[in-house]
Structure 1
């Protein structure tokens, strides 16, 4: 899938299930991989590349109830706060994980002058449509 979707930095929605108005238009998420996991019926692995412009940030959001997430910084520096954990800055080559139904309260490019790029890999129920929902 080569289509590019403009949505919040970590408000990652593979399909058009998330309304564009709920997100900062500065971030670009590109679906990279999607495949049912053959030896785990009902589970799918989805991967996306998230491009953060300088100073780009997403709205606070909640991840899909079934989604376990592995995040890996491909370039730049990304500030993240998940659930009640501390704010942390992850640099190129560093990674973290997020348990199902996490609240992603901060997700932003830590730099106002350089872009950043993230690989996010989700393992989730195959019937999940929206990977994230904005927190109001």
Structure 2
């Protein structure tokens, strides 16, 4: 299968795997990259860019049981709380990671006047049905 077809299929899967219900009107999630990892059979690397307007936030959500996540703040400041950890503020150039099956209870722009942008990189099982789902 040509690389373009693989990437196109991965983005189609990604569109299904990141339902709008897991995100609020306070964020815009844009698929950036998805690729099977050739030397780790059954795993896919997926990158998303999350844009937060001033005061914007994601709804509390769970991550897939198989998903290890690396988060990197591209611009602005992001307030985040994962599982039972403290609420922390991460600034542009700072990063954190989230274990598989993490509960991401707070994910929002720390500023009410400036936008913020986050790069989220997932390593998850290929074919994972949903990378994020809203907390019940």
- Give the TM-score category using the shorter length: 0.7 to 0.9
Matching of residue 75 in structure 1 with residue 56 in structure 2: no
Distance across 2 between alignment mates of 1:124 and 1:20: 19
Structure 1 residue 26: Cα displacement: 2.9
> Would you say 1:57 and 2:57 are equivalent positions?
yes
Alpha-carbon RMSD: 1.8
Residue 104 of structure 1 corresponds to 104
> Quick one: distance in 1 between partners of 2:83 and 2:23?
20
Structure 1 stretch displaced more, 25-34 or 38-47: 25-34
Map 1:31-50 → 2, pairs under 5 A: 31-50=31-50
Q: Which has the larger radius of gyration?
A: 2
CA contact (8 A) 1:28 1:50 kept: yes
Q: Runs of 5+ in structure 2 lacking a partner?
A: 1-6
Distance 1:21 1:35, change over 3 A: closer
CA distance in 1, matches of 2:39, 2:94: 29
Distance 1:47 1:92, change over 3 A: same
C-alpha distance in 1, partners of 2:39/2:22? Answer: 35
* Partner SS for 1:16: helix
| Greater helix content | 2
TM-score, L = length of structure 2: 0.86
Call closer, same or farther: CA 1:18–1:117 in 2, change over 3 Å.
Answer: closer
Deviates more, 1:66-75 or 1:20-29: 20-29
User: Matched residues in 1 for 2:15 and 2:134: separation?
Assistant: 16
* Consecutive unaligned residues in structure 1, runs of 5 or more: 3-12
Query: Are 2:90 and 1:90 aligned?
Result: yes
